[in-house]
Structure 1
Amino acid sequence: MQIQTATLGYPRIGKNREVKKALEAFWSGNIESESLLQTIQKVEESNWKTQLEAGIDYIGIGDTTLYDHVLDWTFRFGLIPERFQQLSGLERYFTMARGKEGIPALEMTKWFDTNYHYLVPEIAESTLPSDFSDFLERVSRAQKILGKRAIPIVLGPCTLLRLSKLSLNIQQAVSKLIPLYINLLTELKNLGVEEVQIHEPALVLGDANSWKEHFHKVYQSLSLVGIPLHLVTYFDDLGETYPWVIDLPVAAISLDLTRGRNLELIKTYGFPPNKRLGAGIIDARNIWQIRSEKVIPILQEIVETLHGTSLHIQPSASLQFVPYDAKREKRLPSPLRNVLSFAEQKLQEVVFLARTIIGENTKIEQEIIETSWNKFEEFNPANQSVQERLKTLKTDDFQRSLSYGLRLDSQISLPLFPTTTIGSFPQTSEVRQLRMRYKRGELSQSEYEAAIDVQIAESIKLQEELGLDVLVHGEFERTDMVEFFGQQLSGFAFTENGWVQSYGSRYVRPPIIYGDVVRTAPMTVREFKVAQSLTEKPVKGMLTAPVTILNWSYPRMDISKSEQAFQIALALRDEVADLEAAGAKVIQVDEPALREGLPLKVERWNEYLSWAVDAFRLATAVAQPQTQIHTHMCYCEFGDIIKDIERLDADVISIENSRSNNQTLREITEGGYSHQVGNGVYDIHSPVVPTTEQILQQLRTGIANLPVKQIWVNPDCGLKTRRWSEVIPALKNMVEATKVLREEANVTVK
């Protein structure tokens, strides 16, 4: 049996966030496009060399992107919606991503069950000619550096269609794409490429079996080009599609062995001896070092099952979901740092496992791994107090003392169509400098808090001048909606350089949950008190909900996600009680990642939704009936889980609705949702300032879909990434549109 190593993609942001800095400099007009493209080139070539030096045999290339890899392929194939066709080059590309005056951007949503966002293609009859020149140039450069190790990564046609909005039927869309892919593969063959990775993660979705005919048609056609195809799947198992997927005319198939039951499927149905198996045994989405005593037996079992089939040992997916290098984290305790595995460490693990399976002596390396884990377990004892609280939970701990209908009249009195924002205001360079100076010790805690209070006071004054009804303190003290809370909870660790891409130039540093989670002191009460003291209007207490904190962190692997969510919920429950005692009449507990964590197969939904919804209820049910609980969700589909969202029992939910063309709002309406809804009236991810008329049109759509008394007015997400020069006129127009609507409804503002 031939055993080699491979990768399916790599972090693409630069070790020092070079891509983000170059993008934002380009957008602000400080650098030219040539400089931006040179930065991308340097980052990707550095990535290739790192993988080459690690000893990887076959290196996936071509996944580096200016903004989003799905947008890249939409662009290359000429699948350009009509509203962008009068533009060209980078202006067209970035307008599709971010929009501009009079041209809304493509919708954005989550990439399967990850926290990465992709731009949703819109495929219609009207398209432009394809242009693969940038990709082919990238492949040519990679071949000069890597030789035959360079394996181009292409987003598969069926996955591209499955994730798109189509204005033509599936058969027509498949027929439209097949010639484009044939042309691409032919060009790659002419470059001397000996294999192409075609990524088809849609094969793990619950409805993949209904696409069987399309997959057969596509791959029968593509196989005729005569270039070996490597069909790559990840994020879950193939399920009932396995028997026919392994018969597709491809040279290799990659399976995720860290999620689902692909190993069981291999043992049940076998694996074709004429195909190579890509064994995704290194989890590409967590940051924990492998436990060799668990992983090696699985690989040995696979080898015994394959009976001579060649094997590639590799990460389960692209490594874009983890940071670059754990060795850079000098401030983490060594027992923790030594069991972390970022992208570079995962390359080493891939090579180590391959050497082990072929019989090379890796005994010393195995002993080092085992010793690291033993030291970590000594460093990380259990917290008995939180474990006892979990054991003594009762049914009443998960439900408000009064139902929604009964508690509604006791809550704050507001005008029709109450206006608010989602929570954050612009994180200006001044605010970022404040945090940096405090972190470096240049400001004392009292000096830092006084400076933050000035920002809070200015934001409260602005909101009152604009005429908003429910105010926020602006979250100037928060770097990130998850990191901020994790920094104040035991059991969390934080990196200095652990950045990963969320979308475009938006990067995050997910916290690491390594131990039991306990709140040791109030986390948000001081800032709430400052803000509320400055106004007679209600100010929202602002929290991030348990499932979002969990899903946007790297979780522990030794206990269940549900137990971790409940530990976080107990900490937030104490914070809700403290905010309420401090006078908060409105508390927002944001849960944007609820849908994101939904398993990719429907049969696993109920188990997940049961504990995920219960975690939110555990955090919020402590609130008194007169306290209004809000939540916020964005960039996801609600229709099929609307009853579970209602079971959260939040009084008000604010949603992203502007990029989805009101689809989210319609799903809520059709689902019979009975609580109050803020249907995001403009897209905060675009620098375009919406007009009063545009917002009014969005609000009128809301009235057409929901009873008037259920409607709130707000942007579709937080405003931290925007500039004040964009935020102020947008909110002014939002308030003006609301006034018009109130007048139309013959309502006098209180």
Structure 2
Amino acid sequence: MQCQVSYSFVLRKNMSIITATLGYPRIGKRREVKKALESFWRNELPSEELLQIVQEVEEASWTKQAETGIEQIGIGDATLYDQILDWSVRLGLIPARFQQFSGKERYFAMARGKDGVPALEMTKWFDTNYHYLVPEITADITPIADFSDFITVVKRSITHLGKKAVPIIISPLTLLQLSRLEGVVFEDILNQLLPLYCELLKELKALGVKTVQIHDPILVLSNASHLKAHFQKVYTEFGQTGLNIHLVTYFDDLGDTYPWVMELPVNTISLDFTRGNNLELLQKYGFPSDKILGAGVIDGRNIWCIRPQTVISLLETIQTVTNNLLIQPSSSLQFVPYDAALEVKLPEPLHNVLSFAEQKLEEVVISGKTLTGENTQTELALIEQKWDEFAQFSPVNQEIKTKLENLTPGDFQRSLSYTSRIAQQISLPTLPTTTIGSFPQTSEVRKLRSQYKRGDISPEDYQKAMEAEIAKCIKIQEEIGLDVLVHGEFERTDMVEYFGQQLDGFAFTQQGWVQSYGSRYVRPPIIFGDVVRTAPMTVQEYQFAQSLTEKPVKGMLTGPVTILNWSFPRSDISRQEQAYQIAIAIQEEVTDLEKAGAKMIQVDEPAFREGLPLKQEKWSDYLSWAVDAFRLATASVQPQTQIHTHMCYSEFGDIIQDIERLDADVISIENSRSNNRTLEEVAEGGYSHQIGNGVYDIHSPVIPTVEQLTQQLKTGISTLPLEQIWVNPDCGLKTRRWEEVIPSLKNMVEATRKVREEIDLSTHHQNL
């Protein structure tokens, strides 16, 4: 029976409602950009064809938005690798080590490294799973603008969209706040960039552009208020260019910056109403009558359909404060896949409540029509009916609910302290060498998985093929001389997807790709119900690998916080409850691995920090349950079992005490791209457990030399006590080729051997 729901608005005179977008997926519905980019890197595709494919994907996105009825379409956010890198290049913010290159070669050298030249550091974009390349600005850099590529895009968009085209520009304030400034004063470099931006705005106006979006997400951070004077100066100058300035914020509320942000000389201010407390701020302080409010009421970062009554109630409340509205997503839609209609294999009740980028466009339009009194009753009632059907499809699991209710403090605590148990754990050489877990996912391995998925090979034959890959990997590691081995993870498409596929409560898409960085795309699982483990997930592969060697092999798992943060979570229960459900499932796997003989079990948490709220005053609650989730997953093991974890591409200094509270025996970290800053933060924070110094960057094809690695190791020894240090790459090796992996690891082991000899010789001399 169809739900009978009635919706009404108190319509106001002269109400102006416009629909808008703040950005769109840019990888192609069928990953066209990834395929083109990687073909270009292999010298199989000319530069002109690469650019043509990117342009076609971009224009298809514009067409879709226009056809759906969006009236202001954000353009200019398409990229070959990273949007922040694009603006660094356009502004001439090129570190000296890249000056030897030019054109596309320089661009990709900055992104990936080249000929021994390390790439720019990469880190998370706010609290998303997208990575951006951190601009490096040193005293020897003088900004010089070249916006020709951006202007070309704008001209094409005007031809394609007419007045609907609204250029997206990353603010100089956000750009600089997210940069590494070395020997440069923030205000000084801002004063150099500001005229360049103003010239760009004037050039856009000359093209007939009326409105531009200036994206300034740093306004939602806790420390944004100290930039107040800079914001006032920047936006005053922007306003003098004669363009309509649309100031865009997202990911959280404005907090204490709200009052003065409302006074900035801009035409439109966008607020995210899906995260934070912007609604409360709006009600408390009001909204300027001479400005338009960009109401981000459609969540740009989840994949669930709107709940009509919730969105309509929100819009009704906003409408009591201001009538001048843009209805839009809360952020760019780059964080969700393209089109839920492509997912033909999902259960219908689940499929019917999914909303990817194309569906969110429709939700924006429906919300706008509802607000202006157009008849959308049928559409809204149908959405409510689909949610009712989904509730029947995914009922509560009483067993996991009871387990959560019966947890005690002892479930979160190792039986012995770190200092008491470490002596009972496996004995290893000084500076033990290992890897993070994964090894190259070759085309042959991917072909095997595809054949198995299609049913072309039997489960038995597939298992034999995987065991052959494991055996090869174990042999290579022994020949290289690594001290602690891994099985290689050949059976895993993705470190989260693999586990989700074996847990109840998860669903998986076929075309639900989102960009992580560059050409690295992931398909985040969808958590739609209670999470339950029904059988062992990794024990068979571990046992086979360990049977091939006398050296210890690590059991390899993904941690509960990362599985949660790298999935699209449920919207009906808290993230904490979802994390605990996953933790219980991982705990059961840890127990089975230990029973199978594993002396070392690695539970990776690379997404631990990215789950932090953007406002520091909200950190304590997240860190409390996130740490407890990891401990719940790992605390049940015996003292002799060594727990490892891995974290990468995050800043650790401000949460180092919380990382230590994880109580992992060994943590491996990214350190190579951060120029040892991560290692220094760990040391300065007084971290006392063992730590794997990520000695080289696996996201670059560059093979590190023995000399480079030796120096990196010596830096580690000068920073941390020798007994704390492990040696490993900075991340998993699945994206690299064997031709890169083997010599890199050989050089790492050789560098470790040399440093060990120097340590032994030094100790011998001291004892004479």
TM band (smaller chain):
over 0.9
Deviation for aligned residue 1:225:
1.2
Residue number in structure 1 paired with 2:40: 26
Q: Give the residue type in structure 1 aligned to 2:213.
A: Q
1:343 corresponding residue in structure 2: 357
* Displacement of 1:627: 0.4
Is 1:317 aligned to 2:325, yes or no? no
**Matched residues in 2 for 1:747 and 1:374: separation?**
72
1:404 is aligned to 418
Match of 1:444 in 2: 458
Conserved in 2, the CA contact under 8 Å of 1:742 and 1:748? no
Q: Residue 146 in 1 paired to residue 158 in 2?
A: no
CA displacement, residues 585-604 of structure 1 (integer Å, 9 cap, x when unaligned): 00000001110000000111
Does the 8 Å contact 2:143/2:193 carry over to 1? no
Amino acid at match of 1:291: R
The answer to whether the Cα contact below 8 Å between 2:143 and 2:192 also exists between their aligned partners in 1 is no
1:657 paired to 2:675? no
How far 1:102 sits from its partner (Å)? Answer: 2.7
Q: How does 1:192-203 map to 2 (within 5 A)?
A: 192-203=208-219
Classify the secondary structure of the residue corresponding to 2:610.
coil
d(CA) in 1 for partners of 2:19, 2:99: 42
Unaligned residue ranges in structure 2 (runs of 5+)? 1-14, 764-768
Offset from partner CA, 1:237-292 (integer Å, 9 cap, x none): 00000000011111100000000000111111011111110000000000000000
Is the aligned partner of 1:84 residue 2:98? yes
Q: Which residue of 2 aligns with 1:137?
A: 152
Partner Cα distance (2:363, 2:709) in 1: 52
Q: Partner amino acid for 2:256?
A: E
Instruction: Give yes or no for the alignment of 1:290 onto 2:282.
Output: no
Residues 344-395 of structure 1 deviation map (CA, whole Å, 9 limit, x = unaligned): 0000000000000100111101110011000000110111111110000011
The structure 2 residue matched to 1:529, chosen from 543, 549, 559, is 543
Tell me the distance in 1 between the aligned counterparts of 2:128 and 2:101. Answer: 32
CA distance in 1 between counterparts of 2:401 and 2:527 reads: 16
Q: Deviations over 1:304-358 (max 9, x none)?
A: 211x4x2100000000000000011000000000000000000000000000010
1:221 paired to 2:247: no
The code of the aligned residue for 2:204 comes to L
Whole-angstrom distance in 2 between the partners of 1:26 and 1:73: 22
Rounded to whole Å, the distance in 2 between the matches of 1:266 and 1:450 is 61
Question: What is the rounded CA distance, in whole Å, between the counterparts of 2:637 and 2:715 in structure 1?
Answer: 32
Who is 1:230 aligned against? 246
Question: After the TM superposition, which residues 26-105 of structure 1 pair with which residues of structure 2 at under 5 Å, given as runs?
Answer: 26-105=40-119
Match of 1:615 among 611, 620, 629: 629
Q: 1:219 offset after TM fit, Å? A: 1.1
SS at match of 2:320: helix
Q: Aligned partners of 1:561, 1:599: CA distance in 2, in Å?
A: 12
1:736 aligns with 2:744: no
Unaligned runs of 5+ in 1: none
Matches of 1:245 and 1:713, distance apart in 2: 48
Aligned twin of 2:12 = none
Query: Does the Cα contact within 8 Å between 1:100 and 1:688 map onto a contact in 2?
Result: yes
Shift of 1:683: 0.2
| CA distance in structure 1 between the partners assigned to 2:398 and 2:138 by the alignment | 58
Deviation, 1:124, is: 2.5
* Distance in structure 1 (CA, Å) of the matches to 2:533 and 2:410: 22
TM-score between both structures, scaled by the size of structure 1 = 0.99
CA contact (8 A) 1:522 1:578 kept: yes
One-letter identity of the residue aligned with 2:237: S
Residue 241 of structure 2 corresponds to residue 239 of structure 1: no
Question: 8 Å contact 2:116–2:703 — kept in the other structure?
Answer: no
Q: CA deviation at 1:747?
A: 7.4
Q: Distance in 1 between matches of 2:116 and 2:297?
A: 47
Aligned residue among 163, 178, 183 for 1:163? 178
State the distance in 2 between where 1:122 and 1:407 align. 43
Shift of 1:86: 2.3
Match of 1:3 in 2: 17
1:207 corresponds to:
223
Judging changes above 3 Å, is the alpha-carbon distance between structure 1 residues 123 and 748 closer, same or farther for their aligned structure 2 residues? closer
* Deviation of the 1:177 alpha carbon: 1.0
Offset of 1:748 from its aligned partner? 12
How far off is 1:506 after superposition?
A: 0.1
User: In 1, distance between residues paired with 2:238 and 2:405?
Assistant: 56
Aligned 8 A contact 2:116 2:704 in 1: no
1:300 pairs with 2:316: yes
| 1:581-625 deviation digits (Å, cap 9, x = unpaired) | 000000000001110000000111000000000000000001110
Whole-Å Cα distance in 2 between the matches of residues 111 and 459 of structure 1?
Answer: 34
Structure-2 separation of matches of 1:112 and 1:128: 25
What SS does the aligned partner of 2:400 have? helix
Q: Which of 603, 606, 609 does residue 592 from structure 1 map onto? A: 606
For residues 150-195 of structure 1, give each alpha carbon's deviation from its aligned partner in whole angstroms, at most 9, with x where no partner exists.
0000001110011001120111011011011011111111111000
CA distance in 2, matches of 1:383, 1:148: 52
Residue 496 in 1 paired to residue 497 in 2?
Answer: no
Find the aligned partners of 2:437 and 2:376 in 1 and give their Cα distance. 52
Find the counterpart in structure 1 of residue 396 from structure 2: 382
Does residue 517 in structure 1 map to residue 497 in structure 2? Answer: no
Residues 422 and 715, structure 1, Cα contact 8 Å, conserved in 2: yes
- The answer on whether the counterparts of 1:80 and 1:127 sit within 8 Å (CA) in structure 2 is no
Cα distance in 2, alignment partners of residues 365 and 721 from structure 1: 44
1:352 aligns with 2:366: yes
Matched, 1:250 2:266: yes
Query: Runs of 4+ in structure 1 displaced over 6 angstroms?
Result: none
**Whole-angstrom distance in 2 between the partners of 1:699 and 1:58:** 53
Q: What does the per-residue CA deviation read over 1:501-541, in whole Å, with 9 as the maximum and x for residues that have no partner? A: 00000000000000000000000000000100000000000
Give the secondary-structure state (helix, strand or coil) at the position aligned to 1:305.
Answer: coil
Amino acid across the alignment from 1:564: Q
Counterpart CA distance in 1 for 2:495 and 2:263 is: 46
- Is 2:580 the partner of 1:557? no
Whether the aligned pair in 2 keeps the contact of 1:422 and 1:716 (CA below 8 Å) is: yes
CA contact (8 A) 2:436 2:728 kept: yes
Distance 2:313 2:41 in 1: 50
The answer to whether the Cα contact below 8 Å between 1:97 and 1:106 also exists between their aligned partners in 2 is yes
Aligned residue number for residue 6 of structure 2: none
Amino acid at match of 2:24: Y
How far 1:139 moved relative to its partner?
A: 0.5
Query: CA–CA distance in 1 between the matches of 2:733 and 2:650?
Result: 19
Report the Cα distance in structure 1 between the residues aligned to 2:137 and 2:723, rounded to whole angstroms: 37
Q: How many angstroms apart in 2 are the aligned matches of 1:40 and 1:338?
A: 31
Conservation of the 8 A alpha-carbon contact between 1:416 and 1:747: no
Deviation at 1:128, TM superposition (A): 5.3
CA distance in 1 between counterparts of 2:62 and 2:377 reads 29
* Distance in 2 of aligned mates of 1:363 and 1:223: 41
Contact 1:194 1:228 in 2 (8 A): yes
For 2:424 and 2:514, the matched residues in 1 are separated by 44
In the alignment, what sits opposite 1:701? 715
Instruction: Tell me how far apart the structure 2 counterparts of residues 208 and 242 of structure 1 sit (CA, whole Å).
Output: 11
